[in-house]
Structure 1
Amino acid sequence: MIAFRVGLRTASRATFRTTSNTTRSRPFSNTPLEQARRYRPFDSPPQYPRITAEAADGGAQQQKWSRIAPVYRAQYIWRNYRGVVMTFGAGGVVFYVYNLEKVPVTNRRRFNIFSPEAEKEVAGSSNEYKQQLEEYRGKILPPNHQKVKIVTRVVNRLLPTTGGLAGDDWEINVIDAPEIQNAFVMPGGKVFVFTGILAICQNEDGVATVLGHEIAHNVAHHVAERISGQIWAYAFAFGVSLFFDWSGGLSNQIAQLLLSLPNSRTQEEEADHIGLLMMAEACYDPRQAVAFWERMAKAEKVTQLEFLSTHPSTYNRIDHIKQWLPQALDRYNEKDCSITSQYAKDFTGALGRQIQEAPDEFAAEFNSVTSSLMQTIRPFYTNLAVTTARFMNILPSPADATSGRKAG
């Protein structure tokens, strides 16, 4: 009996020790719940899903939150401001569709909220024009200069091909700046041509290539389209900065890279297309546009990557112009321009080349003397032609015309 009691006491002590050791080895602070609370970062999303109102009412599914910051922000905005997002989205779509229009000639669909009058007021006002004149004061060539006359003649031939879409208040300014290879036309019709690009043009066909392109910007009202497109560029930049938490400068640069620059290159290609058709209709050889851009490619000192530029690369422009040449040549032949151009080339053969190589002052004086001489001898050769025709019995004499008798 005594041995039984001793054994029971020993077993009880062993059981107590085992239970005590087990309790000490797993304290309350080491439970999985406490570990999760201790090591979860304060600013991280909770480990458990948030309960929606439907789930709280006995409904159903729980919403999961993404650990990716931009997606998490999008989820937060959608779940808390869904009505506002849908209202602005639907309004933006309606606003965009309502202001879609077709570009003349090419029929490209584009977004534009400015009329030609508003475009001129914003980017081609008299104040803007005065600022340009003030910037180039002292370098503007006089109207009687030979280069100004060439540019004026080309503009006067191109304008009838615009159908009145390019403005009606035209003024021409040639800037004496050999280092600048550029030209532009302000909305409404203010033309600025730098002498540096005239050296690359070499002839009137080259000048027509440049001015046709610049006037085509006015025909298509690209300035209005560019200003209108800034609305979507700003909206895109705001969205990028909101979801990715980037600075405004970086988001604006991304918007320019993805939206503004591609649209600008599209406009430049479209101006090349419209300008090529315009110069063909004005009886300038459209094949000379390829020759001009080949000369421009040789003159370029720095070649910029196309996706970082507002203009397509020169080689891409040449390829596109070659694709449009059949259409331009059809229009060129419809106007019977080939016959007229051949007469002009024959007339400006040896004598024309001599005048072209002569100094501007001599060429102007030569043209003035030639014009005066033609006015002086015009009555003489007119009378000679009439007398010869009557002598050959082609025209009736004054007595025959009075009596009504026909010649021959």
Structure 2
Amino acid sequence: MLWRLRAAQGAAARLARGIRGRQLQTYRRFGSDRQPIWQERWFQYTAGAAGTAGAVYVAVHTRESPTGRWQFISVTPEDEEREGQQAYRMIMQQYRSRILPRGSPADTLVRRVAQRLLEVAQTRGNWEVHVIDSPERNAFVLPGGKIFVFSGLLPVAMTEDGLATVLAHEIAHQQARHTGEKLSQARLLHLAYLFVALFVDSGAAQIGRSMTSLLLELPNSRRCEEEADQIGLQLMATACYDPAQAVALWERMRAAEGVSPPEFLNTHPSTESRIVNIRKWVPDAELKREAADCPSPGLLHDFARFGSGQDHYVR
């Protein structure tokens, strides 16, 4: 009986070794027969054709921005306005009960400054101004001409020149079509991520998303912000605001802000970088102000009321 048991154990051991051997052999044969997809000829042809078509598409939809920077925009102004309308409905739903009434001091101030800027900007849109009762130090303009200012910004802006700095910057985003630029970039990158996820690997697509955010999307967002600062400085100067006060505004912003992430991880330039750039652009903006034949500083208080009786551009 003992020898039979040992014989059975030996046969079972040989059978187990044989099975493991066949599994290992099958695994090695499977791994050696399949080459990576990027080495497949059909994939190389497909990727080459897609890359060529993408390059032509980008070239056709590339234009020069107001500052001479090349920007890729593949959407229409109507597309941008639709996005703006959607965002407008969401914001109104969120803040409707906190919007200051028409004719209140803060609303009148913001409306007056916006009116002067829009008279010289000549930017399309059905412009509306809303002041939100909130401590946030922020303002933004949606495509289609919807201006929102949080009341917490006003103490930091302090003067009409300071407020004009912020509003001119936001209006400049619309002049340069930065919303359309970001929408176009996002759509193009989405197609690229989809291609990689379908034909290569979903993990590679996720890595690509992180890399393009750090190396492409964030730097482009910072360039748009810098461009809006530059265009906005020219705009406020043409509207007879003092461009030198933009430096003072950002110095107050720097004193009021808390800890911010490193610039390369942010959508906006650091406040210090903005101050340096604005100081560099102020002399040209002052020439623009002189060319606009603006009144002397002593008359600015009266000039600030020019056009404020009739809101031709804002409501």
CA contact (8 A) 1:209 1:275 kept: yes
Query: Does 1:132 find its partner at 2:91?
Result: yes
Matched, 1:253 2:210: yes
Corresponding position: 1:219 with 2:175: yes
Asked whether the equivalents of residues 176 and 194 of structure 1 are also in contact (C-alpha less than 8 Å), the reply is yes
**Partners of 1:177 and 1:281 in 2: how far apart?**
30
1-structure distance, mates of 2:200, 2:259: 37
Structure 1 runs not aligned, ≥5 long: 1-36, 47-64, 66-71, 349-366, 372-408
Bigger radius of gyration, 1 or 2? 1
Which residue among 163, 167, 186 is the counterpart of 1:230?
A: 186
* Number of equivalences: 280
What's the CA shift string for 1:225-244, capped at 9, x where partnerless? 10100133224545766667
**How much does 1:276 deviate?**
0.6
Unaligned runs of 5+ in 2: 1-23, 310-315
Secondary structure, aligned partner of 1:81 = helix
Question: In the alignment, which residue of structure 2 is the partner of 1:115?
Answer: 76
Matched residue, 1:406: none
Within 5 Å, give how 1:97-108 maps onto structure 2.
97-103=59-65, 105-108=66-69
Which of 144, 148, 163 aligns to 1:188? It is: 144
CA distance in 1, matches of 2:30, 2:226: 51
Hey, what's the Cα distance between the residues in 1 that align with 2:254 and 2:64? 32
Counterpart residue number, 1:362:
none
2:105 aligned residue (141, 146, 157): 146
Q: Distance in 1 between matches of 2:268 and 2:74?
A: 24
Q: Which residue, 196, 200, 220 being the options, matches 1:263?
A: 220
Normalised TM-score (structure 1): 0.63
Q: What value does the CA root-mean-square deviation take over the aligned residues?
A: 2.7
Higher relative contact order (CA 8 A, sep 6+): 2
- Cα deviation per residue 1:322-343 (whole Å; 9 max; x = unaligned)? 1111210110111232x43232
Residues 286 and 271 (structure 1), Cα distance of their counterparts in 2 relative to 1, 3 Å cut: same
Tell me which amino acid in the other structure corresponds to 2:244.
R
Partner of residue 289, structure 2: 332
> What aligned pairs does 1:3-402 form with structure 2 within 5 A after superposition?
73-74=37-38, 76-77=39-40, 79-103=41-65, 105-121=66-82, 123-125=83-85, 127-162=86-121, 164=122, 166-178=123-135, 180-238=136-194, 246=203, 248-337=205-294, 339-344=295-300
Task: Write the deviation string for residues 204-249 of structure 1: whole angstroms up to 9, x where unpaired.
Answer: 0000000001111111111111010013322454576666762644
- One-letter amino acid matched to 1:313: S
User: Secondary structure at 2:98's aligned position in 1?
Assistant: coil
Is this contact kept in 2: 1:152–1:172, CA < 8 A?
yes
Give a deviation string over 1:8-37, Cα, whole Å, max 9, x none.
xxxxxxxxxxxxxxxxxxxxxxxxxxxxx9
Q: Partner letter of residue 196 of structure 1?
A: G
Length-normalised TM-score, structure 2: 0.80
Name the CA shift for 1:87/1:247 in 2 (closer, same or farther; >3 Å): closer
Letter in 2 for 1:273: Q
Contact 1:286 1:329 in 2 (8 A): yes
Pair 97,183 (structure 1): closer, same or farther in 2 beyond 3 Å:
same
Whole-Å separation in 2 of the counterparts to 1:86 and 1:225: 25
Superposed CA deviations along residues 285-320 of structure 1, whole A, max 9, x for unmatched, are 000000000110111112211111111111001111
Report the Cα distance in structure 2 between the residues aligned to 1:255 and 1:290, rounded to whole angstroms.
32
In 2, are the aligned partners of 1:269 and 1:317 still within 8 Å (CA)?
yes
| 1:87 Cα offset (Å) | 1.9
Is the 2:37–2:43 contact (alpha carbons within 8 Å) kept by the matching residues of 1?
Answer: no
Question: What are the superposed Cα offsets for residues 161-197 of structure 1, whole Å, 9 maximum, x if unpaired?
Answer: 22x3x3230111101112x111011111111100111
SS at match of 1:144: coil
Identity of aligned residues (%): 39
CA 1:257–1:144 in 2, change beyond 3 Å: closer, same or farther? same
Contact 2:138–2:149, Cα closer than 8 Å, also in 1 = yes
